[in-house]
Amino acid sequence: MAKTPVRPDVVRRPPVDAVRMNGFVGQRFDASRVNRLRHQEDYHLLWPFQEHCPVGWNHPKLPHPEITRGDWQGEFIGTWVSAATTTAWNAGDDELRAKVGALVKAWMDTQEEDGYLGTYDEVDRWKSWDVWVQAHDLIGLLSYYYQSGNQEARNAAIRVADHVLKDFGPGRQYLHTGPHGGMASSAILEPMMWLYWETGDQRYLDFGRWLVDEDWEAPGGVAIRTSILSGKGVAGTANGKAAEMLIDFTGMAELYRATGDEGYLKPVLVAWDDIVQHHLYITGSASTGEHFFPDYLLRNDGLFRLGETCVTMTWMYLNLSLGRLTGEARFFDMVEQALYNHLISAQSPDGRGWAYYVGLRDNKRYRWHTDPDCCPTRGVRALAQMPQHIFGISDDGVAVNFYEPAQALLTLASGAKLKISQEGQYPFDGNIRLRLDPQEATRFALRLRVPGWCRAWQLKVNGASSGVQPGAEGYLVLERVWKSGDVVELDLEMPVHVVADELGNPGRVALVRGPLVYAADSSYLAGGRLLDDVTLLLDKANPSTKVRAVKSEGSVHLVVPSVVVKPAMGAGMWREKERYHGLAACDGTKTVEEVTLVPFFEAGNRDPKAYREVVITNTEAATNVTYQVWLPYTCG
Q: Which amino acid is at 476?
A: L
* pLDDT over 80 (residue 253): yes
Give the structural domain span for 119.
36-167
CB 497 within 8 A of CB 545: no
Question: Hey, is 32 helix, strand or coil?
Answer: helix
Rounded Cα gap, residues 295 and 234, in angstroms: 9
Q: Looking at residues 140-147, what average pLDDT do you find? A: 98
pLDDT in tens, 198-222: 999 999 999 999 999 999 999 889 9
Neighbours of 33 (CB within 10 A): 23
Q: Does 472 map to a domain?
A: yes
Q: What is the CA radius of gyration of the chain?
A: 26
Rounded Cα gap, residues 630 and 636, in angstroms: 19
Q: Does 563 map to a domain?
A: yes
Rounded Cα gap, residues 11 and 335, in angstroms: 15
Poorest-confidence range of 176-180, 277-281, 360-364, 560-564? 176-180
Per-residue confidence band for 601, with pLDDT thresholds at 50, 70 and 90: very high
Last residue in a domain, options 167, 190, 225:
167
Q: Looking at residues 251-273, what average pLDDT do you find? A: 97
Instruction: Compare 615 and 423 and report the one with higher pLDDT.
Output: 423
Q: Does 93 map to a domain?
A: yes
Q: Which amino acid is at 278?
A: H
* pLDDT over 70 (residue 567): no
459 to each of 24, 481, 488, 579, how far by Cα in Å? 23, 17, 7, 61
Beta bridge partners of 628: 361, 520
* Backbone torsions φ then ψ of 168, nearest 5 degrees: -130, 150
Nearest to 366, CA basis, from 378, 350, 381, 380: 350
Q: Which amino acid is at 28?
A: R
Rounded Cα gap, residues 264 and 123, in angstroms: 35
CA 367 to chain centre: 18
* pLDDT over 90 (residue 1): no
Q: What is the pLDDT of residue 208?
A: 97
Q: What is the pLDDT of residue 61?
A: 66
* pLDDT over 60 (residue 62): yes
Q: Does 90 map to a domain?
A: yes
Do 447 and 515 sit in the same domain of this protein? no
Rounded Cα gap, residues 156 and 138, in angstroms: 9
Q: Does 439 map to a domain?
A: yes
pTM above 0.85, yes or no: yes
Nearest to 182, CA basis, from 228, 137, 127: 127
Do 67 and 161 sit in the same domain of this protein? yes
Q: Looking at residues 453-482, what average pLDDT do you find? A: 96
CA dihedral 135, 137, 141, 142 (to 10 degrees): 0
* Backbone torsions φ then ψ of 625, nearest 5 degrees: -70, 125
Q: What is the pLDDT of residue 67?
A: 63
User: What H or E segment, with its residue span, contains residue 50?
Assistant: helix 42-51
Do 465 and 546 sit in the same domain of this protein? no
Beta bridge partners of 434: 422, 488
Q: Looking at residues 441-452, what average pLDDT do you find? A: 98
Q: Does 342 map to a domain?
A: no
* pLDDT over 70 (residue 609): yes
* pLDDT over 90 (residue 59): no
DSSP letters spanning 347-380:
B-TTSS-EES---SEE---EESS-SS-HHHHHHH
Do 546 and 593 sit in the same domain of this protein? yes
Do 473 and 589 sit in the same domain of this protein? no
Q: What is the pLDDT of residue 159?
A: 98
Rounded Cα gap, residues 142 and 130, in angstroms: 19
Last residue in a domain, options 465, 492, 519:
492
Per-residue confidence band for 68, with pLDDT thresholds at 50, 70 and 90: low
Domains held by the chain: number: 3
Rounded Cα gap, residues 471 and 577, in angstroms: 69
* Backbone torsions φ then ψ of 23, nearest 5 degrees: -110, -150
Nearest to 287, CA basis, from 321, 267, 312, 269: 312
Q: What is the CATH number of the domain that holds 468?
A: 2.60.420
Peptide bond into 470 cis (omega under 30): no
Last residue in a domain, options 107, 136, 167:
167
Do 518 and 477 sit in the same domain of this protein? no
Q: What is the pLDDT of residue 582?
A: 64
Considering the chain, what is the average pLDDT of its residues?
A: 92
* pLDDT over 80 (residue 54): no
Do 622 and 516 sit in the same domain of this protein? yes
Do 455 and 553 sit in the same domain of this protein? no
CB 73 within 8 A of CB 119: yes
Do 51 and 84 sit in the same domain of this protein? yes
Do 551 and 581 sit in the same domain of this protein? yes
Q: Does 558 map to a domain?
A: yes
Do 455 and 541 sit in the same domain of this protein? no
Q: Looking at residues 336-349, what average pLDDT do you find? A: 98
Nearest to 256, CA basis, from 591, 451, 7, 435: 7
End-to-end distance of the chain based on CA atoms, in angstroms? 70
Neighbours of 24 (CB within 10 A): 19
Do 534 and 571 sit in the same domain of this protein? yes
Q: Does 627 map to a domain?
A: yes
Neighbours of 366 (CB within 10 A): 22
